[in-house]
A = this chain, B = another copy of it.
Amino acid sequence: MKRLFAALLLLSSLAIAHAQERVEKWGVYEVVLKGADAGNPFIDLELGATFTQGSESYAPEGFYDGDGTYRIRFMPPSAGQWRWVTRSNHPDLDGKKGAFVAVEGKNKGPVRVANVHHFAHADGTPFRPFGTTIYEWAFQPEAKKRQTLETLRKTAFNKARMLAVPPYKPYYLSGATRLTDFPFVGSSRADFDFSRFNPVYFRNLERDVQRLSDLGIQVDLILFRPYDKGQWGFDTTSDAVNQRFVRYMVARFAAYQNIWWSMANENSYIKHLGDEDFDRYFQIVQKHDPYGHLRSIHNADRIYDYNKPWVTHVSLQYYNAVKVFGVSPLLRDIYRKPIVHDEINYEGNSASRWGELSGEELTRRFWIALTGGAYATHGEILDNGWIGGGGYLAGASPERIAFLRTIVEAGPKEGLKPIDQLFVMNTAGKAGEYYLMYFGDERPSEWRFELPVGELRSGMQFKVDVIDTWNMTITPVAGTFSIGELTRYRVADQDKRSVALPGKPYMALRIQRVGAMPAGPRAPVPGAVADD
């Protein structure tokens, strides 16, 4: 995706807009207008444009970018000719018109919910989030940012959780890591002007969002955060400032195809805001983002009600939910939305207990999440502090998570669904076709071939792979297994065969149907609960 800028013609203070001619579908198209810089356009200005192609129409808001420059961004969701006309309470910016052509390209478009509990790009390509956490990478010196991008290029992570506003840290005040630009005009608590955004800050952030997009990485962009330690005042701004901030963020970032909106990190630690405030901010995003990018919020002690209609998916921090089997299926049923375990503790050697997992344990939690029909997000806090500023990865889990991703992506295109979930806690897939079964800490030396009866037919053939999730090997079991006589709940191989296992932890099985489909009806899925 290439950012194209509209040609710009200055004529005294009169705004004149020219459109560039072509942009890729789901790329960023931009109308640039020039106008007077009187008053405070961050507060006073109303600006937007309506983009139309046939019966399709979108009306994003524009924003003031400083120095008399006004921009309206648009992510064309269809190829073809788009016409636009601006609207503004500023006469110089109102009623400007133009047109451009969106052309097919390589973009897959924004990620949406697909099949209730999963995700797909707008073009239909399934998207399975294997995220990582780099809260502060965008606030680091450029050399370190490049190192982070280089690291990401070599991993399988395809989503990055990151803050849109820096946390207060002393190292941001001096030295090579000193921050010169903040979201608001000013450079310290004493002189921040919360009525004026700092366009330089946001242009830098946009560049980083774009660089992640170029790597195919979704940005889970966190709008509000605690972590201010009473210093800058970014977590105690007024509701009016917060509402302007949300609209400004949407106006600037919604046209980036890789944006996910995370309303907050650790919501309840922002003492100044309650969930009723986040309700409003969610609804502002929902109203002003013309493309319906994903929306969620990440919790501390107080879990936001993810059933609310403006929440697209669950972004949970609850470690128990990935320490034991069986919780993700419950969460799927409670919310009927995708479940993303966005903080599951970190691989690390931190003195804080949330940052001291072994690579084995973080990998185990990923497998528990995925075989529960959910997703998980990585983080690392070894010496380098990846979850803060990025840089390089030193842990053992990223490679295993990449291995898991290859397995999941080779699985059912609908995503993994828990199978017989109230009585079988460690298996997901697609009943009758594909089963991914994970043994976690257990060290079985054999597994008797036995599948939940739902969707099976006698005579079906299955092949089995033994997966060592830690050593990243996939070992096919010789021969195939045959579904014997159907029973009420679980069906064995017709010769009662078993699969030999090495008596080690972190083993999994992949069981896939092969060969011709036998005749006869598939067995119904037994009532998940006591229906008889």
Q: Which residues of A contact B (CB under 8 A)?
A: 226, 266, 269, 299-303, 305, 307, 317-321, 323-327, 329-330, 333-334, 343, 351-355, 421-423, 425, 488-489, 527-532
In the complex the two chains form, is A321's CB within 8 Å of B330's CB? Answer: yes
B320 and A425 within 8 A (CB): yes
Is A354's CB under 8 angstroms from B529's CB? yes
**Which residues of B sit under 8 angstroms from A301, Cβ to Cβ?**
333, 527-529
Which residue of B226, B319, B530 contacts A422 across the interface (Cβ within 8 Å)?
B319
- Among the listed B307, B324, B327, B343, which residue makes an inter-chain contact with A529, where contact means beta carbons less than 8 Å apart? B343
Instruction: Decide: A305 and B307 in contact? CB cutoff 8 A.
Output: yes
Contact between A226 and B531 (Cβ–Cβ < 8 Å)?
A: yes
- Contact between B303 and A334 (Cβ–Cβ < 8 Å)? yes
Contact B531 A320 (CB under 8 A): no
Which residue of the partner chain B has the closest CB to A387? B530
Contacts of A326 in B (CB 8 A): 320-321, 323-324, 327
Residue of B nearest to A345 (CB): B530
- Contact A303 to B421, CB < 8 A, known contacts A327-B327, A343-B529: no
The reply to whether B305 and A318 form a contact with Cβ atoms under 8 Å apart is no
When all copies of this chain in the complex are counted, the total is: 2
**A269 in contact with B531 (CB, 8 Å):** yes
Smallest distance from the beta carbon of A506 to chain B beta carbons, Å?
Answer: 19
A–B complex contacts, Cβ < 8 Å, 7 sampled: A266-B529, A300-B528, A301-B529, A317-B529, A320-B326, A320-B425, A323-B425
Interface centre among A269, A334, A353 (most CB of B within 10 A): A334
- Cα distance A302–B528 in the bound complex, in angstroms: 10
Q: Give CA–CA (A423, B345) in the complex, Å.
A: 11
Q: Which residues of B sit under 8 angstroms from A353, Cβ to Cβ?
A: 423, 489
Chain B residue, CB-CB nearest to A319: B422
B320 touches A329 (CB 8 A): yes
Q: Which residue of B is nearest A305, CB measured?
A: B307
A329 to B324 alpha-carbon distance, docked (Å)? 13
Given contacts A301-B333, A321-B330, A324-B325, 17 further A-B contacts (CB under 8 A): A266-B531, A301-B527, A301-B528, A317-B530, A318-B333, A320-B327, A320-B330, A320-B421, A320-B422, A320-B425, A321-B326, A327-B327, A327-B330, A343-B530, A352-B530, A353-B423, A355-B530
> Which residues on B sit within 8 Å (CB–CB) of A352?
530, 532
Q: Determine if A319 and B423 form an interchain contact, defined as CB atoms under 8 angstroms apart.
A: yes
**CA A198 to CA B187, docked complex, whole Å:** 78
A300 x B425 contact (CB < 8 A): no
> A326-B323, A422-B318, A529-B343 in contact; A333/B303 too (CB < 8 A)?
yes
| Min distance, Cβ A172 to any Cβ of chain B, angstroms | 17
Q: How long is the Cα–Cα vector from A325 to B300 in the complex, in angstroms?
A: 20
With CB as the reference atom, state the residue of chain B lying closest to A323.
B326
Complex alpha-carbon distance, A300 and B333, angstroms: 10
Query: Which B residues lie within 8 Å of A528 (CB)?
Result: 300-301
User: What are the residues of chain B within 8 A of A334 when measuring CB–CB?
Assistant: 303, 334
Chain B residues lying within 8 Å of A489, measured Cβ to Cβ, are: 353
Q: How far is the CA of A488 from the CA of B351 in the complex (A)?
A: 10
For A423, give the chain B residue with the smallest CB separation.
Answer: B353
C-alpha gap A317/B354 in the complex (Å): 32
Bound form: Cα–Cα A226–B530 in Å = 11
CB-CB under 8 A from A529, the residues of chain B are 266, 299-301, 317, 343, 354
Cα–Cα, bound, A319→B529 (Å): 9
Q: A422-B318, A422-B319, A423-B353 are in contact. Are A266 and B530 (CB under 8 A)?
A: yes
A326 to B319, CA, bound (A): 9
Complex CA gap A355/B421 in Å reads 17
In chain B, what residue has the closest Cβ to A334? B303
Q: How far is the CA of A530 from the CA of B325 in the complex (A)?
A: 23
